[in-house]
Amino acid sequence: RVGDDLVLTKPLGVGAISSAIQRRIASEALIEKATVLMATLNKDAAQAMREVGVHAVTDVTGFGLLGHLLEMTQASKVSAEIFAGNVPTLEEAWEFVRKGKIPAATHSNLEYVNPHLRYQNGLPREVSLMLADPQTAGGLLIAVP
């Protein structure tokens, strides 16, 4: 709904890190960090969500944050404003995004949502790619009144 705040319960970047794991360029520590994050259930976030009340929720998975947010906004007939610097990300994932070591789905996700995006002050390509990063066991995107 208009005026809702959006909350993302897990950081983005798992797709880029998963791609790095497949390419055998991720450290053991990073593999462990990504595995723990992916194994973390959304149960606690779902419980908190029930307690505070929400207007909408979706899990952020293969379509990335932008794809799932587009689905939410179209279904609700509203728009959303993202402050990219406030979106939680895995710091280690940026290296792989900048080097282009990302899943092919990242590009197709961004291509799909791009006609629906408006950039106010421009946005570096790597930031757009991070926002389109496909997640495995991603967090919840919650619209909170």
126 near 97, Cβ under 8 Å?
A: yes
Which pLDDT value is given to residue 69? 98
Task: Give the SS3 label for residue 102.
Answer: coil
Structural domain for 54, as ranges: 5-117+124-144
Which pLDDT value is given to residue 62? 97
Q: Which pair of structure tokens corresponds to residue 95? A: 């290296």
Which pLDDT value is given to residue 21? 97
Which pLDDT value is given to residue 125? 94
Total number of domains constituting the chain = 1
pTM here is: 0.92
Mean pLDDT of 23-28: 97
Which of these, 20, 66, 63, 59, lies nearest to 40 by C-alpha position?
59
In the predicted structure, residue 120 carries a pLDDT above the cut 90: no
pLDDT, tens digit, 9 for 90 and up, residues 38-92:
999 999 988 888 888 899 999 999 999 999 999 999 999 999 999 999 999 999 9
For residue 49, give the CATH number of its domain.
3.90.650.10
pLDDT, tens digit, 9 for 90 and up, residues 81-117:
999 999 999 999 999 999 999 999 999 999 999 999 9
CA–CA dist 130, 121 (Å, integer): 17
